[in-house]
Amino acid sequence: MKYINIPVLLILLLLTACSQTYLLESYDNDAISVNTTEDSIIQNIISPYKGGIKNEMEEIICFNKNNLLKDKPESTIGNFVTDLCMQYVDVDICILNNGGLRTEILKGNVTRGKIFELMPFDNELVIIELEKQQFIQLIDYVIERNGEPFSGMKMTINNEGQLLTCDKLEKFDKKIKVLTSDYLANGGDKMWFFTKKKQFRTGIKVRDAIIDYCLKTDTIDVKLDSRITILENE
């Protein structure tokens, strides 16, 4: 049985019945320090898991021959990720975004944890078929952004941002298959040309593709290959 505290109930009724308005003129905001110690029971529970995760993240999965750095209009880290992603599905091109690649990979041993730093998100690779109009919008997007990570095509532009050549556009058929992340496919990073297009899910996370590739590759050797070239006007 529940008991009602009559005095408290009366006070609440009186307060809610009032229609007066109050203005707060000032207040003091003080930080209250809290001193506590670790709970030994909780620490004992999570310790084995912390150790297991630490060992897994420190596992060396390949060796990197050159620094993989972020840059524009082309970058070695962007070439690395987009090139390897295309090996997992049959598509024409792959495009990602510089903001989605969260770190660089320096020369030396590459750990599993480093790939989690590079791609901390659970983004999945999806395929989208673009018609010519949307594909041109994709090219314009790359040019406006002064370059984004892509693989499977080459383009040349002038320093005024005008497209001079694009091999995939010159040989364009009815549609082009584009591999990207589900985040970008849903219009992330203002890639509106992907929206309202049917997505074919691969079931492969971008991070998992990178880790799998590294595990199967003893030494990574990535260089710039002029897939996007900016020509000075004569």
CA 54, CA 3: separation in Å to the nearest integer?
Answer: 53
- Ranges 6-15, 96-105, 150-159, 172-181: which has the least confidence: 6-15
pTM above threshold 0.75? yes
- List Cβ neighbours of 72 (8 Å cut-off, separation of 6 or more): 98, 145, 146, 147
- Relative to beta strand 163-166, strand 124-130 is unpaired
Answer whether residue 15 shows pLDDT above 60. no
Q: What is the pLDDT of residue 37?
A: 64
pLDDT band per the 50, 70, 90 thresholds, residue 140: very high
Looking at the chain, the whole-number percentage of residues with pLDDT higher than 70 is 77
Give me the mean pLDDT over the 164-188 stretch. Answer: 96
Mean pLDDT of the chain: 86
**Of 110 and 173, which is predicted with more confidence?**
110
- List Cβ neighbours of 161 (8 Å cut-off, separation of 6 or more): 143, 144
DSSP-based three-state secondary structure for 90:
coil
**Domain edges within the chain:** 43-231
Q: Note the pLDDT tens digit of each residue in 203-223.
A: 999 999 999 999 999 999 999
CATH of 43-231, one of 3.20.20.450, 3.90.780.10, 1.20.1260.10, 3.40.50.300: 3.90.780.10
CA 214, CA 87: separation in Å to the nearest integer?
Answer: 13
Answer whether residue 113 shows pLDDT above 90. yes
Q: Which helix (H) or strand (E) holds 95?
A: strand 93-95
Which phi and psi (to 5°) does residue 186 adopt? -90, 15
Half-sphere exposure for 84 (CA within 13 Å, toward CB): 22
Q: What is the pLDDT of residue 135?
A: 97
CA 227, CA 155: separation in Å to the nearest integer?
Answer: 6
pLDDT band per the 50, 70, 90 thresholds, residue 202: very high
Largest CA distance in the chain: 91
Q: Note the pLDDT tens digit of each residue in 45-68.
A: 555 556 668 889 999 999 999 999
CA 158, CA 199: separation in Å to the nearest integer?
Answer: 33
